[in-house]
Amino acid sequence: MSRGRLRVFLGAAPGVGKTYAMLEEGQRLAALGGDVVVAWVDTHGRAATAAMAAPLEQIPRRTMHHRGVELSELDLDAVLARHPDVALVDELAHSNASGSAHEKRWQDVEALLDAGIDVMSTVNIQHIASLNDVVEKITKVPQRETVPDEVLRAADQIELVDLTPQALRNRLSDGHVYPAERIDAALSHYFRLGNLTALRELALLWLADEVDSALQNYRAQHNIDGTWEARERVVVALTGGAEGETLLRRGARIASRSSGGDLLAVHVSSPDGLSATNQQNLAAQRALVEELGGTFHEIVGQDVPASLISFAKGVNATQLVIGVSRRSWLQTVLTGPGIGNGVVRQSGSIDVHIVTHAEAGRRFALPSVSGGLTARRRWVGFALALVLGPLLTLLLKTIRSDDAMTANVLAYQLLVIVIALVGGFGPALFAALMSGLTLDYFFISPYYTITINQPLHALGLGLYVINALLVSYVVDQAARRTRLAQRSAAESELLATVAGSVLRGQDALAALLSRTREAFGFNAVRVVSDGTEVAHDGTPSGDPSVQLPVGPSAGLEAFGPAVDASERRLLEVIATQVAAALEHSALEETAATVGPLAVSDKVRSALLSAVSHDLRRPLAAAMASVGALRSMPEDLSAQDRAELLATADESLQTLSSLVTDLLDASRLEAGILAVAARPVSAAEVVLPALDELGLGPSSVTLDLPAQVPPMQADPVLLQRVLVNLLANATRFNPPGTPVRLAASSLADVVELRVVDHGPGVPDDRKDLIFTPFQRLGDTDNDRGIGLGLALSKGFTEGMSGTLTAEDTPGGGLTMVVSLPTAPSLVSA
């Protein structure tokens, strides 16, 4: 039996029309003769959706009981027994009730697909596992129900049901998404215009990545190596030279000419890690790439053209930007065509842009042949030449003969090689010249004269010098690479140490300055911005030995020994890191400044929402009741008059409670809550709280041991805390099950526990329930303005206590009020 096909309708937010589109497609297939059934669809009370589902056959749902609540779930066995051609299964991310065959609905869908049944389903972008945390940061609403990305990516077809953010808000305002009592809360929270715009962009980007992934899989399955220009991808090759900025900006302009073009920068490092790359340039160019909206990549390869082409083909690049060679014509003649020629030859279908720049064709300069060895080794080489040369001459003179000439030449050649290995070019050249003259003077007739009267003698002396040059050059290069390797290792260790210090929690700027001072042996290092010292390590004195720019207006100053060119390059890299640390610090300061403003703005927005909606309802009801009593008193019966008075009284009490909560919230926000703490027993506040709520023994079970000591608390505030907690507990507790209120003491703390057996609160949302003006998402808002628990926590903390939420064993939520024991008892 072949596996069924999965078709998913993806939406950016609830209400865009996913379920409607799925049902519409189901009707179309049924009209064509397909066997289509509705396995599970939630209309959310939307008339248009219900009307669309009505003509289709619907599989009866399975009734489940969970914690005293009756739930309807997908009847997987019934759908499998019916075995239609196509099953419509709404809400792919839904979590099944306890006792179902599978924990998640997408697992039910997998079972249907395995049975050969085609499935059409729906999912919102916030339920995709990889985007769940991103959506929570945007909307501030966590989503517990998720679908693994691999499940969606395995779908045969994903269709985006799109609706502009403003159009969705209009649908919501018109009552096509949620009932009237939920509209205001939804518009001011989850369905804000910014939220919807960000969610829509996420949905489009995720789907675009899915299309791109499908294209890559198809190319891999069919062994397609050529470039398919489905999207412009511009790769810019960076060498670490100063021309990198020019190349990046040219590449960015090429990518911007096509909508959705990608910019990728790549640097090819040598396998031995010894290439003399300017790390400061690379760091600056990496920052520029990110600023231009691209990505930076670093790969290792010996053959630079082949590595570049391999990378470009791997990312399906359509354009490759490289710079004109910086070598002069003489270098080109001596070493052959450069990297650009190799890239062009191997590029195939990839367009190659060779961009000219200011660094092209720089003046040819001979490499230094004496800088690899230390001065001490060179002096030792000269000393060996002066000592070993005469000793070897004395030794060979004792066995001088015409037959020993070959041995004499090889002996002096060995001496030159030994001195070259020790001292490098200068001592080797000196030894070659001296040994050549010594051979002519002591061992070639006529003796004791320096006469070159045969071409072969001149050739021999020339070969002598050439051998010395070659050997010394090899030794010098080996020494250079050794020192470069040691330097690279030291630089890597320094940068790794700095990074480790930052990761371990140290201040980034302080760690950079401290490690820099230690690594280079400076007396002090400091950062100066606009003439003002920002940070320092050590005690600066005198004039700085090193000054480097850090960003547009700051500088790095070091006090102590001077540095050479290689050390200065490393300092320039560190200066770049210092600039990044300063920028990060500035952003943190800005965030710290903006953070409280954002919180205040959020509170003001929530307060406006509460005033405009929650306060308006009871006020409108009271005004309507009073208006009816005033306008037609003679037409009202005694019963009608009593009902209107009761409505007005209830509405005004609700209004008074809401205003009191708002005033208390403002006092908490301003930090001016008045607390009159004194010793208070548990019964002193528990019994009045029960009377205020009208709760009896059937509703609340009390456990107040007499040995529990009094608490240090404000009885009025504590009573309000208990009223809020008991009201919430009785609201969510299963019918017929009493709430439990218990008191206990441990050391110098008294705990009051309000225990319910309702649905509970997940661990990741326990802190959220104490946030003002929220109700854990889009729930009904006819019971206050979401301030109860926030005020309770504020009141408790104002009395030097804590309010925490814990899980009730067996299911439910336990709210724990912890308060200090009365001082007199503690001291006793």
CATH code at position 252: 3.40.50.620
In a domain, 483, yes or no: no
45-50 mean pLDDT: 86
Which domain does 562 fall in, by range?
Answer: 514-587
Number of domains composing the chain: 6
CATH number at residue 116: 3.40.50.300
Q: Torsions phi, psi of 475, nearest 5?
A: -60, -45
Is the domain of 64 the same as that of 213?
yes
146 and 200, same domain (yes or no): yes
Q: CA quadruple 97, 101, 104, 106: dihedral positive or negative?
A: negative
- Per residue, the 3-state secondary structure of 583-649, as one string, reads HHHHHHHHHHHHHHHHHHHHHHHHHHHHHHHHCHHHHHHHHHHHHHHHHCCCCCCHHHHHHHHHHHH
Name residues whose C-beta falls within 8 Å of residue 730's C-beta, 6 or more positions apart in sequence.
Answer: 693, 695, 699, 700, 739, 756
- If you average pLDDT over residues 785-789, what whole number do you get? 62
pLDDT digits (tens, 9 = 90+) for 75-96: 999 999 999 999 999 999 998 8
Eight-state DSSP code of residue 60: P
Give yes or no: residues 197 and 65 share one domain.
yes
Same domain, 771 and 788: yes
For residue 485, is it within any domain?
Answer: no
Same-domain pairing of 206 and 238: no
Give the separation between CA 189 and CA 778, rounded to whole angstroms: 8
In a domain, 494, yes or no: no
Mean pLDDT is highest, among 523-537, 556-570, 761-775, for 523-537
For 249, residues 6+ apart whose C-beta sits below 8 A from its C-beta are 292
Same domain, 54 and 170: yes
pLDDT of residue 276: 53
User: Do 269 and 330 have their domain in common?
Assistant: yes
Element containing residue 538 per DSSP (H, E): strand 532-538
Q: Is residue 599, in this structure, part of any structural domain at all?
A: no
Q: Above 90 in pLDDT, residue 8?
A: yes
State the CATH number of the domain containing residue 690.
3.30.565.10
Handedness of CA 274, 280, 284, 285 (dihedral sign): negative
Cis status, amide bond into 446, omega within 30 of 0: yes
Last residue of a domain, one of 565, 587, 609: 587
SS3 state of residue 161: strand
User: What does the pLDDT read at residue 112?
Assistant: 94
CA-wise closest residue to 472 among 484, 462, 483, 480: 480
Residues 204 and 69 placed together within one structural domain of the fold: yes
592-604 tens-digit pLDDT? 776 655 655 555 5
Question: Domain check: are 167 and 291 in the same one?
Answer: no
At 784 the pLDDT is 47
Amino acid 772: pLDDT = 63
For residues 115 and 662, the model is more confident at 115
Residue 496 lies in a domain: no
For the chain, what is the mean pLDDT?
78
Query: What's the confidence (pLDDT) of residue 231?
Result: 62
Note every long-range contact of 457-461, with CB atoms under 8 Å and residues 24 or more positions apart, other chains counting: 460/409, 460/436, 461/436
Torsions phi, psi of 607, nearest 5?
A: -65, -40
For 374, residues 6+ apart whose C-beta sits below 8 A from its C-beta are none
Q: What pLDDT, on the 0 to 100 scale, is given for residue 36?
A: 94
Q: Are residues 665 and 682 in the same domain?
A: no
Report residue 70's pLDDT band, with 50, 70 and 90 as the boundaries.
confident
CA distances from 335 to 330, 332, 743 (A): 9, 5, 89
pLDDT digits (tens, 9 = 90+) for 148-187: 888 888 888 899 888 888 888 888 877 788 776 567 666 6
* Position 403 in a domain: yes
- Alpha-carbon distance of 247 to 44, in angstroms, equals 55
More confident residue, 536 or 403: 536
Q: What is the rounded CA–CA span in Å between residue 168 and residue 123?
A: 17
Do 175 and 61 belong together in one domain? yes
Residue where one domain finishes, among candidates 635, 669, 703? 669
**For residue 237, what are the β-bridge partners?**
266
pLDDT in tens, 492-527: 666 665 555 554 545 677 777 877 787 777 888 898
The number of angstroms, rounded, from the C-alpha of 213 to the middle of its chain's C-alpha atoms is 21
DSSP string of 184-205? HHHHHTTT-HHHHHHHHHHHHH
Indicate whether 14 and 101 sit together in one domain. Answer: yes
Position 820 confidence tier, pLDDT thresholds 50, 70, 90: very high
Identify whether 604 is part of a domain.
no
Residue 603 is assigned to a structural domain of this protein: no
Task: Answer with the one of 221, 254, 283 that is the final residue of a domain.
Answer: 221
